[in-house]
Amino acid sequence: MSDSFRPGGDRIRSPRRRSAPVPELPLPEASAVKVGDGGSGGKGKVGAGSAQTLITLRVGSGVVRLSAAISALIAVYPRLAPVVGSAELLPVERLKKLMQGFGLRVRAEQRDPAVGAAAAEVAWCDQVLPLITDDADATPAYLVDILASLSASGANLSLEALRPVGIHIRAHRYPEAAA
């Protein structure tokens, strides 16, 4: 019972509403869920039971533009430097390592550059988002958009490399309810 008060100060006792317990449903096993399907018929959801999400990294041939964008990413997120590797690697390999560093399985494709097309884009399920365009300084924002879309689609991402240097984040663990 909970107590309430009327404007005159009289106490009103009313029963407390209790919500019905939510049943625990078993998660599908990883082998039962196709990556990219997630039980939604391929409508932009990645498999909930999959450990890694498969993405396609489509990269053009503009080495200078790709290298400038990778440098812009490292300038904003310094912890990405060891993830992407040294500048001696091809930009395609560095971008592949970048996406693998977030816990994604990556299939890289070299493609012919099209007029006005992104120098690099990421595709999964039915979504395609630009990663690198003519504006190298916009690459960090594009990366965050891609990661947010992947996360909203159900991908299990490792975002440790985006944490600012010197900042330690501790996950708060709630005590488990007694059964």
The pLDDT tens digits for 80-100 are 999 999 999 999 999 999 999
Nearest to 87 by CA among 109, 67, 62: 67
Would you state the pLDDT for residue 179? Answer: 56
Q: What is the pLDDT of residue 165?
A: 78
CA atoms in the 13 A half-sphere facing the CB of 6: 6
Specify the pLDDT at position 135.
Answer: 92
- 39 CB-near residues (< 8 Å, 6+ apart): 28, 33, 45, 47, 48
pTM across the whole model: 0.66
Question: What local confidence, expressed as pLDDT, does residue 175 receive?
Answer: 63
Asked if residues 55 and 99 have their Cβ atoms less than 8 Å apart, the reply is yes
| pLDDT higher than threshold 80 for residue 178 | no
